[in-house]
Chains A and B, each alone.
Chain A
Amino acid sequence: DQQVKQNSPSLSVQEGRISILNCDYTNSMFDYFLWYKKYPAEGPTFLISISSIKDKNEDGRFTVFLNKSAKHLSLHIVPSQPGDSAVYFCAASDGNNRLAFGKGNQVVVIP
């Protein structure tokens, strides 16, 4: 059973606008969440993370929001740039060094 779910497999957005990616999880033991970005034929690169003691973490154009009661997190990219076109994976950890990954969201930023 998938513990981390990313719906809406693909998203198209105009350059300069906001991209919002959503992620839901089922395991209440998850206490650390990460977003990875992946270009074709490359490995995923770490983008941003958030601990369960926070509800928001910001790094430049990227902000992650966590709603623990809803078991939901989201990644906001503002403003979106063509170089942001990639697959984004949501991942969650319960502290045992293993990550549970979602299936990914394809983002296409239109110039």
Chain B
Amino acid sequence: DVKVTQSSRYLVKRTGEKVFLECVQDMDHENMFWYRQDPGLGLRLIYFSYDVKMKEKGDIPEGYSVSREKKERFSLILESASTNQTSMYLCASYSGYTDTQYFGPGTRLTVL
């Protein structure tokens, strides 16, 4: 079974704080993704990575950065959190064998 874990289920931060969201997968997948989910907007891709130290912008990268120093770990960074970044953040890992993305449990981030 593919296992994707995220560091926190719930997080509350203040405006201007630097926020780190961590994601770890245990299947040696090369491709990993960060999405945010908002009501009525579905899942929107923030960034993805297809290998260590490689990253690509998704559809809404503004205000975010990422880090992929090890294959199993993909971090999303909010350099200076803002209230409009309050959202559910979802990490996913892609299996080329099943041609499917597998998601972590999500982090509900609230920025006050």
Contacts and interface: CB of A to CB of B under 8 A. Distances in A.
Interface of A: 6, 9, 32, 34, 36, 41-46, 49, 89, 91, 93, 97-99, 101-104
Contacts of B40: 9, 103
A97 B51 CA distance: 13
A45 B44 CA distance: 16
Contacts of A103: 40-42
If over half of B's interface residues share one DSSP class (helix, strand or loop), that class is named, otherwise mixed; here it is strand
16 contacts: A34-B100, A36-B103, A41-B9, A41-B106, A41-B108, A42-B106, A43-B91, A46-B100, A49-B99, A89-B43, A93-B99, A97-B94, A98-B48, A98-B58, A103-B40, A103-B42
B55 to A, nearest CB: 13
Interface residues of B, number: 28
Given A41-B9, A42-B105, A32 B99 contact: yes
Given A42-B105, A103-B40, 11 more contacts: A41-B108, A42-B106, A43-B91, A46-B100, A97-B50, A98-B33, A98-B45, A98-B58, A101-B42, A103-B42, A104-B42
B102 A46 contact: yes
B105 A43 contact: yes
Nearest to A93: B99
B83 to A, nearest CB: 21
B43 A43 contact: no
Contact of A43 (B41, B48, B90, B99): B90
Contacts of A104: 42
B106 A43 contact: yes
A36 B43 CA distance: 11
